[in-house]
Amino acid sequence: MVKPNLPLRRRVPKTFIVVVALFTFWFAITALAVVFPGALNTLYFLAQQIAGWVFVIVVAVVGALLLGMFISHRLLTHGGFTPFEEEMMRMRKDVQQSLGHTEKMREEVSLMRVEVARMRRAPRGGAPRAGDEVEHAHAREAGAKAGASASPGEGADDLDEFRR
């Protein structure tokens, strides 16, 4: 026959001891209320006082934590922007400048395309055709608009220098 490997003395779990103590306390209070009926009112009043103080203490601790977080937040934050926000604003400015520059370049390229198309259609002998004067007037008008929207040094006059 095989004997189990159990220790000779087993320890009683702490949870079991706590549960037995709570049931014993409950039984003692019930017996006290049966033997001395006036003690029930006293116990009820005492339980109310303890529960009230526990509630007040919990509310006070939570309020102190919230008030402390509010005060520390106000003390530690400054009114300015964070470095990340400042960098984002600089990047936004750079992007806007790049978009403006790209738009100017797009206008200049479209003007150059008009000029190149006009030059390709012009006869090689140098004598202008009948419709070229109207197209040239439109090209000058578009160049003036591009020059007005372009920054200094990037107008239609610079295109004339570019052609030379």
Same domain membership, residue 161 and residue 104: yes
As given in the structure block, the two tokens for residue 145 are 């608009």
Is 41 within a domain?
Answer: yes
Distance, in Å, from the CA atom of 107 to the CA atom of 94, rounded to the nearest integer, reads 20
Same domain membership, residue 114 and residue 69: no
Q: Give me the average pLDDT of each 10-residue run along the chain (164 residues).
A: 67 92 92 82 88 96 95 81 90 96 96 92 67 59 56 49 47
Is 162 within a domain?
Answer: yes
Same domain membership, residue 72 and residue 19: yes
pLDDT at 59: 97
Closest CA to 105 of 157, 158, 146: 146
Same domain membership, residue 101 and residue 149: yes
Same domain membership, residue 101 and residue 60: no
Same domain membership, residue 72 and residue 24: yes
Distance, in Å, from the CA atom of 92 to the CA atom of 97, rounded to the nearest integer, reads 9
Distance, in Å, from the CA atom of 44 to the CA atom of 50, rounded to the nearest integer, reads 10
Same domain membership, residue 34 and residue 68: yes
Is 164 within a domain?
Answer: yes
N-term to C-term CA, the chain? 116
Domain containing 51 equals: 14-76
Number of compact structural domains in the chain = 2
pLDDT at 6: 63
Is 19 within a domain?
Answer: yes
pLDDT at 87: 94
Same domain membership, residue 65 and residue 103: no
Is 59 within a domain?
Answer: yes
Distance, in Å, from the CA atom of 131 to the CA atom of 61, rounded to the nearest integer, reads 90
Fill in the DSSP letter of residue 7: -
Residue with tokens 């009820």: 44
Is 60 within a domain?
Answer: yes
